[in-house]
Structure 1
């Protein structure tokens, strides 16, 4: 494998070559997961063939690690574009570019939901952006369950996703029979777009994750702090995505229609 091009809480991404093609290889711990569970979730990813979803190409194992061979995207994550470090190449985004990225991300989410596929961990770090074309690609589809089982093998907390982008119903203890729905993704993709348009962290910079979870779970805060920094046209579209009752949130296709109506 080639150089490391990305790191996350649950894995490292290398640039590599597979059958003569440049690829990204994500190495993740599969502690707590059976191979049949992983292969089922990777199969879901393979079904999601869309121009704005990173293509899954192959899967391999070594010990307690899985190697996911994926389409290589030459560019940073949306997180890096919004919150660049000192050494990162800055990619300025005007209104038109943000609007295009928004529409294409929502096209991908609409496609997934049309096939009853849930991501459960949409956030700026899981949207890669091609440096040359600015085309966004949703990545890590199907990995929320694997990450969750890995986390559960080391913790008593059962969560799928990243707390700051998770809806209230996904935080804390689950009622018997609870199942994730596509409204989880709606909350998460709206949070992603709030950060894109505000260029600020969703809930501000000062709150630690545990305190944030408690405040969201108990209803002490009901809307992200940075939503007020978003263009009023976008704010009007995204605000309903943060309704506490999942059934009151819009669909991905409804969001896409509204963004298509913006000039």
Structure 2
């Protein structure tokens, strides 16, 4: 485990750093101890330079709020947090284990029993989230940890979660967010996403675990602005891994249909088929007439403890956008002219400029 650098702080609030676990684009992650009670946690420390961006600030806040809403054995539990313009941290369960990407890279293909265990854990966590109007949107092998002692799977990284009923979790400027190799077509095209988007990603994760092969990026599948009518070009699973049953391959196929209406309509339906396969029962291909059905959120679902209590306080508001350097004189003229023109005329002018520059 990498140690701390000479200039890194020893403490964050009540948390004493004991080692560094890693660093990403938004945060560094440490192993830490909560001084008052000695509890070991993973401390995600948001980089202050990133939080000056309103978009990254909202993403950090979104993850905190989403995890506060959840209380499930297969979702990280929040133990404490701080977030303001000067920086912040998020203390969650410390997981002694490895993520699925590391496990498949090291150990190769998973067998069917392993797939069933992962499917139950991840499917159960997603069913819980979806009932509360939370859609993860970034399910991938690197965001699923497996406990070393028990084999239990835990979903990580709620940084780009979408919420249908929480005004304090907002989108990031309409940007398309996710991981290309695990992104559903509707997500890539900027269309409406829901729980079936997460199930598409689950299907690709199971494909990766069963075959050891990375799925192709969604950009290779999508042409134009419409959802494609064919599934991603994947290798036949049983040809690569004969230990996987026909039923399991059908489940994966039901997850990764490009049309959301021809996937499982909910995580509960997915779990029902996982249960059938575990008992040796056959499963059926999702029927095409489900294309007209909308994804439904359970209005009676109980909310997590933090759902109604965590508000967007002044300290948690995103900072103002930094001043932007003025554009070169030639570019300013184009902007001034474009403001007074209709969108159609602007598009024609842009196309003309691009043509003349060829």
TM-score between the two structures when normalised by the length of structure 2: 0.60
Map 1:27-176; keep pairs closer than 5 Å. 27-28=45-46, 29-30=50-51, 31-33=53-55, 38-39=60-61, 41-61=63-83, 63=85, 65-84=87-106, 94-144=111-161, 149=172, 158-172=175-189, 174=190
1:44 is displaced (CA, Å) by 2.3
Structural RMSD (CA): 2.9
For 1:52 and 1:227, how far apart are their aligned partners in 2?
A: 30
CA contact (8 A) 1:59 1:66 kept: yes
Aligned to 1:239: 253
For 1:37 and 1:139, how far apart are their aligned partners in 2?
A: 14
Bigger mean CA offset, 235-244 vs 8-17: 8-17
Bigger mean CA offset, 162-171 vs 178-187: 178-187
**Residue 202 (1) aligns with residue 215 (2):** yes
**Residue 257 (1) aligns with residue 277 (2):** no
Q: Which secondary structure does the structure 1 equivalent of 2:43 belong to?
A: strand
CA contact (8 A) 2:109 2:211 kept: no
For 2:56 and 2:220, how far apart are their aligned partners in 1?
A: 35
For 1:196 and 1:246, how far apart are their aligned partners in 2?
A: 22
1:92 is displaced (CA, Å) by 8.6
Aligned to 1:21: 39
Structure having the higher Rg: 2
Could you tell me which runs of 5 or more consecutive residues in structure 2 were left unpaired when the two chains were aligned.
1-16, 163-168, 279-358
**Residue 188 (1) aligns with residue 201 (2):** yes
Number of aligned residues: 240
Could you tell me which runs of 5 or more consecutive residues in structure 1 were left unpaired when the two chains were aligned.
85-89, 204-211
1:224 is displaced (CA, Å) by 4.7
Query: Measured at CA, do residues 2 and 61 of structure 1 come closer, stay the same or move farther in structure 2, by a change above 3 Å?
Result: farther
